Structure 1
Amino acid sequence: FPTFNRPNVELVTDDIREFTSTGIITKDGKARPLDCVILGTGFIVDPRIYMKKFELCGLNGHTIQEDWKVSPTAYLGITAANYPNMYQLVGPHTGLGHNSIIFMIEAQADYIVNCVKLVQAKGGGYLDVKEEAQNRFLGEMTQALKGTVWDSGCKSWYQTAEGINFAIWPKSTWRYWLATRKVNEADYRFVKCAGQSAEGTSGGKLGTSAQAMARAAVR
């Protein structure tokens, strides 16, 4: 890394103790004046971490954190079984290590819009992806990852502590576009809610944030 050897560059690995009006003070007590501080927080890709304060209870009465205790999973990285009308961008198994994530996000945004249009066309209610469809997708990803550099036994930011790779899409991006360009209705349950309620038919209730999401999707 030649940049670290430049005379005007200093590599500091100490923790930041505090911010001041002129810069930072590191754990060793040294004040370091700075013009700009950039927080590199983009490597927290585990939704169990960045969604840990997101109140979401599914139709099965579980929270999303309970259902994702072993590893986060979602059908096409977008929808999760028992969590109707919850849609994700760059969800489980749709991160990239070999291409532009923008293409994936565009494909996901189009897919979500198509899901909402499908709900509207059917008269409102919600879509809930079937567990067998979600498990089939997970199995396909697990198989496709075998033998790749993303599943070679090394620990990385896209794995759980147990070594489960939950983040990477191991195929080409155009294959993802093919998989998401049309909603496969056979992989979903459609339930029409009386009075557009945000409550599930089995008694589960969505959290406050998810209720707003569900209402927005129905509209």
Structure 2
Amino acid sequence: MTEYTIAILGAGIGGLGMAAKLKKEGKSSFVVLEKADAVGGTWRENTYPGAACDVQSHLYWYSFDDQQPDWTRLYAQQPEIRQNVESFVERYDLAPHIRLNAEVNRAEWDHERGRWLIGTTAGEQIVAEVFVGAWGQLNRPSFKGIEGRESFRGASFHSAQWRHDVDLAGKRVAVVGNGASAVQIVPQIAGDVASLTVFQRSANYHVPRMDRAYDQDERQLYRGAARLLESREAFFAEHESWVGAMKLDANPVLDEFYRIARELLETQVPDAELREKLWPDYPLGCKRVLVADDYYPALMRDNVELVTERIAEVVPEGLRTRDGAVHELDVVIYATGFETLSFLGDLEITGRDGRSLRDVWHDGARAYLGTTVSGFPNLFLLYGPNTNLGHNSIILMLECQYDYVLQALRTRAETSAVALDVRREAMHRFNDRLQETLRGTAFAGGCTSWYKTADGHITNNWSGSVGEYQEAMRTFRLDDYEVLQPATA
């Protein structure tokens, strides 16, 4: 049994940033528990062709890092992001705090001693006074109920589990899905395969990416902290101005996004019938708006076909659609996204009075400020419920949470508390207001998305701007927390 003050679950962007902030605060009694054999989170797992960030690289990094990356492109690609993550770990000397191949499957609050008992699949137990969950929202591949996958005679895999041993050249390939991963994959492989069939369930809005490499003069310029900060702040302001596009009510920003998306479609897709298949029938922002320049042109290739008929089942020869047609294939790539609504995967977390977090969240995940949950003392979530965005960089939200956790740690020390537990009424009050505000956003629009449950409870997205979240997180309000002493822990 190993004891720490703080245990962090996950060595992705979220968990590593928290670890670095702890180091900058002079704290050393912490551990980062990672199920895989390397750091990087989503940037370790997603190695598919074309994998890249859809936020500009200058905005997609920690603002507190004294040595900002020397980005080579406007939009960084997966290998560069992963390399910078690994460099970050080295520069902050985080490796001694990271335990790889340590998959956590349970965490239980010890009422008597006021601490978390954290277990791994290997049977180890870690004890920590504070437990920080940084396991992310997009790391549990989903196949959306597609039946018969095991019957397929060819090669098949999820986009987040890319099989680099499968040569696609000259093959009949299917990409199931047309979301954020698919629009990066399709243009990369379309020129190599014999045929490519893209199966679309519902269309997405696309806006131009306009990616490009930075030349050497630009890179030299951005190596200066002042110019890089200026670029970062400009991108931040631009993205913040887009929040109107996430609203249901008509406004100039939303109108402009509709115009840009329609113009891109009409410019790149000359066929009117195909354009209608590619134009969504739900409000912009209800699903993730995609940033892509080359997806539509890829669909124009003679060897690429868009299929909008629903898949009925996987058969040995390929995919059977509901109209009875069998699409014969050699390789099936499932770009079908992730299971997001549970927020837990197989992890079991038990809080006060033996309450299971899975049971508490049975009708949708909720947390106070997306970070703490009543009945689970000293548990802090990073990128938790309602902290996803449709318009800006998630790292900005994470940095608010880092500072909030540090405030909580200081408050805990100042009050000599064993633990802090957010009051149930404070959590419900926050979430009631949040859901009311979310009803006026596109996330509540008439579509099925990974943002919300079947009954319409929006679990994943924040309701407004990053600035509003920063303001909400600026001060740790002790009145909203129960201070637990040894006898009450």
Over 3 Å counting, the alpha-carbon distance change for 1:42 and 1:88 in structure 2 is farther
Q: 1:74 maps to what in 2?
A: 367
Over 3 Å counting, the alpha-carbon distance change for 1:170 and 1:190 in structure 2 is same
- Could you tell me whether the CA contact under 8 Å between 2:417 and 2:483 is conserved in 1? no
The structural deviation recorded for 1:11 is 6.6
Number of paired residues? 184
Residue 126 (str. 1) matches residue 419 (str. 2)? yes
Q: 1:4 maps to what in 2?
A: 299
Once the two structures are superposed, residues 104-132 of structure 1 have per-residue CA deviations (whole angstroms, 9 ceiling, x without a partner) of 01111111121122112222411100011
Over 3 Å counting, the alpha-carbon distance change for 1:143 and 1:69 in structure 2 is same
C-alpha distance in 2 between matches for 1:184 and 1:121: 14
The structural deviation recorded for 1:147 is 2.5
Once the two structures are superposed, residues 9-49 of structure 1 have per-residue CA deviations (whole angstroms, 9 ceiling, x without a partner) of 577998899xxxxxxx966774349xxx8x85764322x2x
C-alpha distance in 2 between matches for 1:32 and 1:40: 13
Residue 141 (str. 1) matches residue 422 (str. 2)? no
Give the aligned residue type for 1:165. I
- Could you tell me whether the CA contact under 8 Å between 2:375 and 2:422 is conserved in 1? yes
C-alpha distance in 1 between matches for 2:393 and 2:462: 12
The structural deviation recorded for 1:51 is 1.0
The 3-state SS of whatever aligns with 1:60 is: helix
Give the aligned residue type for 1:61. G
What are the equivalent positions in structure 2 for 1:35-184 lying under 5 Å apart?
43-46=338-341, 48=342, 50-184=343-477
C-alpha distance in 1 between matches for 2:421 and 2:337: 30
Q: Which runs of 4+ in 1 moved over 6 A?
A: 10-17
Higher strand share: 2
The structural deviation recorded for 1:7 is 4.8
Q: TM-score, normalised by structure 2?
A: 0.34
- Could you tell me whether the CA contact under 8 Å between 2:348 and 2:358 is conserved in 1? no
Q: 2:330 aligns with which of 27, 31, 45?
A: 31
Structure 1 stretches of 5 or more lacking a match?
18-24, 195-199, 202-219
Larger C-alpha radius of gyration, 1 or 2? 2
Q: 1:213 maps to what in 2?
A: none
Once the two structures are superposed, residues 59-102 of structure 1 have per-residue CA deviations (whole angstroms, 9 ceiling, x without a partner) of 13220011111111000000000001111111111111122211
C-alpha distance in 1 between matches for 2:329 and 2:336: 23
C-alpha distance in 2 between matches for 1:182 and 1:8: 56
C-alpha distance in 1 between matches for 2:377 and 2:446: 35
Once the two structures are superposed, residues 148-176 of structure 1 have per-residue CA deviations (whole angstroms, 9 ceiling, x without a partner) of 21112322111112121121111111110
Give the aligned residue type for 1:104. M
The 3-state SS of whatever aligns with 2:421 is: strand
Give the aligned residue type for 2:452. Q
C-alpha distance in 1 between matches for 2:305 and 2:447: 29
The 3-state SS of whatever aligns with 2:420 is: strand
C-alpha distance in 2 between matches for 1:62 and 1:92: 18
Over 3 Å counting, the alpha-carbon distance change for 1:61 and 1:155 in structure 2 is same
Q: TM-score, normalised by structure 1?
A: 0.72
- Could you tell me whether the CA contact under 8 Å between 1:52 and 1:65 is conserved in 2? no
C-alpha distance in 2 between matches for 1:9 and 1:41: 19
The structural deviation recorded for 1:5 is 2.3
Q: Which has the higher contact order (CA 8 A, sep 6+)?
A: 1
Structure 2 stretches of 5 or more lacking a match?
1-295, 320-326
The structural deviation recorded for 1:4 is 2.1
The 3-state SS of whatever aligns with 1:87 is: strand
The 3-state SS of whatever aligns with 1:162 is: coil
The 3-state SS of whatever aligns with 1:56 is: strand
C-alpha distance in 1 between matches for 2:417 and 2:478: 15
RMSD: 2.8
